[in-house]
Structure 1
Amino acid sequence: MNRRKFFRNGALSALGASLFTPFESIRASDFESVWKRKKAKNIIMLVSDGMSTGTLNMADLYLSRKKGKGSNWLNLYREDKVSRALMDMASASSIVTDSAAASSSWGGGTRIKNGGLNIGLNGEPHLPIWQKFKAAGKKAGCVTTVPITHATPAGFCVNQKSRNDQESIAEKYLEHGFDVLMGGGNEYFSADKRKDRKDMYAAFEGKGYYVARTRREMSTAPKGKSILGVFNDNGLPYAKDRENNGELKENTPSLAEMTSKAIEILKDSSQGFVLQVEGGKVDWAAHANDIAGLIYDQVAFDEAVQAAMDFAEKDGETLVIITTDHGNANPGVIYGKYANDEFDSIQNYKHTNEWILNGIGKETSINSVKERVEYANGFALTDEEATTLLGYYGSLDAEDGLYNPKHLPFSVLAEIQKQHNSVGWISMQHSADYVELAMYGPGSQLLKPFVKNTDLHYLMLEAAEVENAF
């Protein structure tokens, strides 16, 4: 779609008005006249990957019931600070998108098939938006809780036939000179881990990058240099496991800390900056039906939202975009006599299901399984439940699959937990949700109540007034 035609598209506007009139009351009307007179010097786009509406809801309930104040994201709605919409995230090959096609719809401005990065239906490349902004003089970066070479950050940065070629994506990041890159993914940068034995850390240092491998190294990174921060072999630890492990907390930054550091490094650019922030492990937790992983990583994402808003409200020239790329597993709190208390029990969880299940093996006793779950979740398994879990450990040798390579019994544990926390799940896969989209700052007045994913590409260009450069 022509970018200017989109913003004058009466049919789309009429559709939004007819379907979503109630959302008009949520628009940040007091700010609109101010935003119209400004362009977005900076853009911060925050993506809670795989966040179903139920996930957003449960994180808000968790915070409301524990701390007496809801999530930063939904408080922006309550305080009428943002424009709000629903967004259709379908890919070119399915109404259910994957993260690569979803990010590419924003990054390249066109829908592509699942699995690729900014490669069109006929093999044609579409220039990623962070490259467009770099060419316009802005600094650009991405931070995430999964490998920095993963689909969501890559969709804003590079063209790649397959999202799975993460070694090549690491090389392309260097080629294009992105200014901030932080997350996991050591296996795609380390000479000891890469198949081709290339030392990508040395290559980045050779191009003037500061390389950080720990939280402390990140915090002391100089402002004047580009940064590559890689803090784990694959994804970063879940927020709940990090919180209860001193070594992980000492060595691994939170998403909010990475966000704040990225802004610190980027903010002095005379032409402004663009930054993508991804809560990538929200999606991984949804794939695993891991409630502690899901809620606490969503809360960690919400803290990054606050870091972005703290900067944007002071700065006055920053467009903040908050959204997700698709639903996943569609969890929610289920009606029942004790739903309140059972849901509140999650406040006392010490670890994720990943931590629980990776600490069990073929030789683990029934009593040890029961003790591990009770320590992590605060309730006791029956002997039958413990035996059922153990029964899955006789055939876990082969490692294959993207999100659960060991084939651990995540769904079985989630079903057991449902009896104690009142949280149910419909699947362990992505879903075709229309997703929440919120905006604050110059450019937010352009948002219609219902948009297509590719429209967001052109809105960002329009807001920053660089839409005619390409």
Structure 2
Amino acid sequence: MISCTLLLVVVSFFVSAKETAANRHFRQSPSFGNYFADKRRPLLQTREYDSNFWMGRGMFDLNRRLKVLESPIVGRAKNIVFFLGDGMSLSTVTAARVYMEQTSGSSFPNGNASLSFEYFPYTGLARTYCVDKQVADSACSSTAYMTGVKANSGTLGVTGAVRENDCESSLEAKNRVDSILQWAQKAGKSTGIVTTTRVTHASPAGGYAHSANRDWESSAPGDCLDIAQQLVTQEPGIELDVIMGGGRQEFLPKYINGNREDGRDLIAEWKIRMKKNNQRYDYVRNKTELSNLNLNNVDKLLGLFSMSHMSYTGTKELERDEPSLSEMTLAAIEVLRKNNNGYVLFVEGGRIDHAHHQNLAHMALTETIAFSKAVDVADTITNPKNTLIVVTSDHSHTMTINGYPAREDSIIGEVDREEGPYSILSYANGPSASAQSYRKQMSKYGESFALYPSLVPMSTETHGGEDVAVWARGPWAHLFVGSFEQNMLPLIMSYASCIGPNKEKCSNR
């Protein structure tokens, strides 16, 4: 017993406890601090050659896990923050983790860095297929993780009885399904959506829309309402307390540079509705306006920060004065937390997916790290005893981590072997296969918008079909373990918070 205690004391000098930012998990520990400051690669190499190094670090992590897993939190989840990294495959998570450490000043990656959500105590695997497709799109997957019901590719908020483009079937009440946002509203909770894509895009729209086609964002056939119209005129969209992201064009008529052919200004209509209901509301168009808001005086917040999707993180386009995902997440929680009944917030890092579709591996990793920072914000300002945080992806992508690069090789670079150099990251398909020759592209690796090699020429890279990871912390987070269908996610959340289909099953807990 004494020897074990001494071992843990010694190891504690090598590994620090998790602080607010995941990047600081090992950076500020007494022994690793000097290494990262001085870049003393031989010293760390020597440590890794010693079996005691690995045993000590492993025992520390085992002890940390035992403390957490032996005491799962089983109280009611007053709040839920549901994070979605769109297209964030496991290979994306791994590569982003390595890239984060390599850009932190370390000359020799040591495997200690982790994205913020990787420190969450419970992890599972979700199966992402659609009713009609082996590989999911963001619409059928959104329906699954928002409503608990799997659907056909391209459809939102409807059952598998509705085929893509079948407007008539989507209007039938029996074919429509409610989302966790509506369950929360019926329980008296505040609700919100935050995304770096258009707020009418597939992932957030699964929480409030019923549509036979995910692309009906500003117009729809027959008696079907377009997605933007559903957001600002129908429940549960009109009852959302926070809506932030891009997509202003879907709400504005064509005569003022919008996409709407019906001549309606849905932003003006939203303001009128809020004023008529005596709501304390505000509409913001950029980071400056959001920063200047006194959120204590706002109960309904609409923020549309770009005409279409928001800009990629870290690009010059951010001079357009757009808030980061972290800033939007913080503002959303500040607005929602005023409700004593709690809240449910959906937050999407949507441009991870867009970068992968264009074979922009470097940018996909940058977006993943920005997403991790937003998770860290929520983790820091909420209480794990009453707030459940769930982090996952809707589907994977075809990016892989290739070959046998040395530990010090840049993850966004290439490996030089006898057979010739090759990139560490590459895709099974995509536009780079036909864009330029492989050799010409290699000189650009490391640039934010460098194209990474792909095998099969396609106008846009496809999704992947493998399972995606789920990370969770807070009340009943231990239910998110093992392998399960993607539609289980909202059902577990409903049980943890006693809303929706599990309201009566856990009401006596």
Aligned partner (choices 366, 381, 401) of residue 332 of structure 1: 401
Q: Secondary structure at the match of 1:187?
A: helix
Q: Secondary structure at the match of 1:166?
A: coil
More helix by share: 1
Q: CA–CA distance in 2 between the matches of 1:188 and 1:300? A: 26
Contact in 2 for aligned 1:333/1:343 (Cα 8 Å): no
What is the match of residue 152 of structure 1? 203
* Residue 303 of structure 1: how far off its partner (Å): 1.0
Q: CA–CA distance in 2 between the matches of 1:71 and 1:95? A: 35
What is the match of residue 215 of structure 1? 287
Q: CA–CA distance in 2 between the matches of 1:413 and 1:182? A: 37
What is the match of residue 188 of structure 1? 250
Identical pairs, percent: 28
Contact in 2 for aligned 1:333/1:424 (Cα 8 Å): no
Q: Which amino acid aligns with 1:236?
A: M
Q: Which amino acid aligns with 2:397?
A: N
Aligned partner (choices 462, 465, 468) of residue 495 of structure 2: 462
Aligned partner (choices 461, 469, 482) of residue 436 of structure 1: 469
Note closer, same or farther for the CA distance 1:25–1:150 as it changes in structure 2 (3 Å cut). Answer: farther
- CA offsets per residue over residues 198-235 of structure 1, 9 Å max, x none? 11111111122411101111223333321111111111
* Residue 57 of structure 1: how far off its partner (Å): 1.1
- Asked if residue 169 in structure 1 is aligned to residue 227 in structure 2, the reply is yes
What is the match of residue 123 of structure 2? 84
- CA offsets per residue over residues 292-328 of structure 1, 9 Å max, x none? 321211111111111111123x463111111111112
* Residue 75 of structure 1: how far off its partner (Å): 5.1
What is the match of residue 376 of structure 1? none
Q: Which segment drifts farther, 167-176 or 298-307?
A: 167-176
Q: Secondary structure at the match of 2:411?
A: helix
Aligned partner (choices 304, 307, 311) of residue 377 of structure 2: 307
Backbone CA RMSD of aligned residues: 2.8
* Residue 329 of structure 1: how far off its partner (Å): 2.6
Q: Which segment drifts farther, 407-416 or 174-183?
A: 407-416
- Asked if residue 105 in structure 1 is aligned to residue 144 in structure 2, the reply is yes
- Asked if residue 140 in structure 1 is aligned to residue 206 in structure 2, the reply is no
Matches within 5 A, 1:223-302: 223=296, 224-241=298-315, 244=316, 247-248=319-320, 251-302=321-372
Q: Which amino acid aligns with 2:270?
A: F
* Residue 37 of structure 1: how far off its partner (Å): 3.5
Q: Gapped runs of 5+ residues in structure 1? A: 1-23, 347-406
The size of the alignment, in residue pairs, is: 379
Note closer, same or farther for the CA distance 1:464–1:35 as it changes in structure 2 (3 Å cut). Answer: farther
Q: TM-score, normalised by structure 2?
A: 0.69
Q: Secondary structure at the match of 1:210?
A: strand
- CA offsets per residue over residues 333-373 of structure 1, 9 Å max, x none? 54357x84453669xxxxxxxxxxxxxxxxxxxxxxxxxxx
Contact in 2 for aligned 1:326/1:434 (Cα 8 Å): yes
What is the match of residue 82 of structure 2? 45
Note closer, same or farther for the CA distance 1:413–1:274 as it changes in structure 2 (3 Å cut). Answer: farther
Q: CA–CA distance in 2 between the matches of 1:93 and 1:25? A: 42
Note closer, same or farther for the CA distance 1:62–1:129 as it changes in structure 2 (3 Å cut). Answer: same
Note closer, same or farther for the CA distance 1:417–1:30 as it changes in structure 2 (3 Å cut). Answer: farther
Question: Relative contact order, CA 8 A, sep 6+: which one is greater?
Answer: 1
- CA offsets per residue over residues 153-187 of structure 1, 9 Å max, x none? 11122221211111222222222221111111011
- Asked if residue 131 in structure 1 is aligned to residue 131 in structure 2, the reply is no
Note closer, same or farther for the CA distance 1:145–1:334 as it changes in structure 2 (3 Å cut). Answer: farther
Q: Gapped runs of 5+ residues in structure 2? A: 1-60, 163-174, 219-225, 275-280, 415-429, 447-451, 505-509
Q: CA–CA distance in 2 between the matches of 1:272 and 1:443? A: 16
Q: CA–CA distance in 2 between the matches of 1:418 and 1:43? A: 43
Q: Secondary structure at the match of 1:104?
A: helix
Q: Secondary structure at the match of 2:156?
A: coil
Q: CA–CA distance in 1 between the matches of 2:176 and 2:131? A: 15
Q: Which amino acid aligns with 2:435?
A: V
What is the match of residue 63 of structure 1? 100
Q: CA–CA distance in 2 between the matches of 1:299 and 1:275? A: 20
Contact in 2 for aligned 1:190/1:201 (Cα 8 Å): yes
Q: Which amino acid aligns with 1:301?
A: F
Q: Which amino acid aligns with 2:286?
A: T
Q: TM-score, normalised by structure 1?
A: 0.74
* Residue 25 of structure 1: how far off its partner (Å): 7.0
